[in-house]
Amino acid sequence: MKVRGNGCTFNVSLEGRQDAPVIMLSHGIATSLAIWNDLVPLLAPRYHVLRYDSRGHGGSGATSGAYSLHQLAGDVIAILDELNLDRVHFVGLSMGGMVGMELALCAPERMTSLAVCNARGASPAQYRDAWVERSASVRAGGIETIVESSIARWFTPHFLANRADAVEAMRGIVRGTSVDGYCGSAAALCELDHEKHLSRLTMPLLFLTGAQDQGAPPAVMKPMQQQAAGSRYVELPDAAHISVVEQPRLFAEALIGFLDPIEADAAGRRRARA
């Protein structure tokens, strides 16, 4: 399905129970909504699952120039408005988690909860320099220049050695990212500065990462969780940066274990008011 908003056309997919609460899934840079393929069937029996391709990724349109996290959060709001959805459980991985934190700060009324997965909260100089370098490489030589280095960072050695089919599929997903989409998004990641605001967030929060994640390792994400009162932390074993691809079932268990009590509490409050 295509929806138009915030100056761009987005590829979106809605699956699962139409009468159930909505979970919105937001992927990372140089990936697409396809990273959730193994997760959606695990969520769909109890939730309505909305996933989308970020601006310049997958089947969504690309715009030129530098993107901002505020713009990418605006894309989420535009999609929700076009679909007549007021609030969602937002689940973001890597860049998607950063977009989720931005949305939580600028439009918390659109979120029932937030799961920040494999995503750091701030952009130190070394991190910014890496994105500037990768962006320059893609501008000069195309998206192919970062395919192998991205794959090597994203997965554990065991997964790379034993899941050739899935690894090749991920290469195809990276190659489906437009140059404008990659470079525009890289500019947005360079401005990341949300960690200092985490104590302001009041919605239920889950922080999740892979035990072997190089991009958002436990040493980065545990302190983020500690700054958000009442939040939960989950670390998935045998998983690196794209943890949902390596461990979809454990990812689903963590997510459902986080969301089901929220929905149960909301149902209890509705019964009490009736």
Order of strands, sheet of 205-210, starting from the edge strand that comes earlier in the sequence:
2-5, 8-16, 48-52, 22-26, 88-93, 111-117, 205-210, 232-236
Cα separation, 209 vs 215, in Å, equals: 10
The mean of the pLDDT values for the chain is: 96
Cα separation, 15 vs 162, in Å, equals: 30
pLDDT digits (tens, 9 = 90+) for 99-151: 999 999 999 999 999 999 999 999 999 999 999 999 999 999 999 999 999 99
pLDDT digits (tens, 9 = 90+) for 54-75: 999 999 999 999 999 999 999 9
Phi, psi for 22 (deg, rounded to 5):
-95, 130
Measuring CA to CA, which residue among 174, 141, 180, 139 is closest to residue 56? 180
Cα separation, 104 vs 93, in Å, equals: 15
Q: Residue 172 corresponds to which amino acid?
A: G
**pLDDT at 272 (0 to 100):** 78
- Provide the pairing of β-strand 48-52 with 232-236: unpaired
Here the tokens at position 250 are 């454990």
**pLDDT at 274 (0 to 100):** 67
Contacts of 235 (CB under 8 A, 6+ apart): 208, 209, 210, 211, 218
**pLDDT at 271 (0 to 100):** 72
DSSP symbol at 155: S
Half-sphere exposure of residue 171: CA atoms within 13 angstroms, side-chain side: 13
pTM (two decimals): 0.97
For the cut 90, the answer to whether the pLDDT of residue 267 exceeds it is no
**Mean pLDDT calculated for residue range 168-184:** 98
Look at 21-25, 122-126, 212-216, 263-267 and tell me which has the smallest mean pLDDT. 263-267
Domains observed in the chain: 2-273 (3.40.50.1820)
